Amino acid sequence: MAGKNKTKKVQFEFLAPDAQKVYLAGNFNNWDASANVMKKDKKGIWKTVLALRPGRYEYRFLKDGNWENDPACCDCVPNEFGSQNCVRIVE
């Protein structure tokens, strides 16, 4: 299938107008909490775009030192810490 291994730009958003810093971590960056810093827009939405290959990715946001799930994500799986990871499927 042509283009199967091409990366796609995938946007992640997190509404947190009161946050000082938000990072995106997941199995796409070995859960490195400082690898993907997000930028806040005027409406208080933190955003970042990653180039990801097709696949299944687990992720969470780190808001001011606290792990948070994506409220817009409806697909979550349990993690080893007793909470949930969000799941994003890239086609």
Distance CA 83, CA 33 (A): 17
Write down the H helix ranges in the chain: none
Q: Which mean pLDDT values do the consecutive 10-residue runs of the chain (91 residues) have?
A: 76 98 98 96 98 97 97 95 97 94
Domain count, the chain: 1
Provide the pLDDT for residue 1.
47
Range of the domain at 12: 8-90
- 66 in a structural domain: yes
Provide the pLDDT for residue 5.
74
- 54 in a structural domain: yes
Residue written as token pair 């946001």: 61
Structure tokens, 46: 């933190």
Provide the pLDDT for residue 52.
97
Distance CA 30, CA 9 (A): 19
- 2 in a structural domain: no
Provide the pLDDT for residue 84.
97
- 56 in a structural domain: yes
CATH code of the domain containing 50:
2.60.40.10
Question: At 3, is the secondary structure helix, strand, or coil?
Answer: coil
Alpha carbon 41 to chain centroid, angstroms: 17
- 73 in a structural domain: yes
Q: What is the value of pTM for the model shown?
A: 0.92
Provide the pLDDT for residue 3.
54
> Helix, strand, coil: what percent of the chain each, to 5?
0, 50, 50
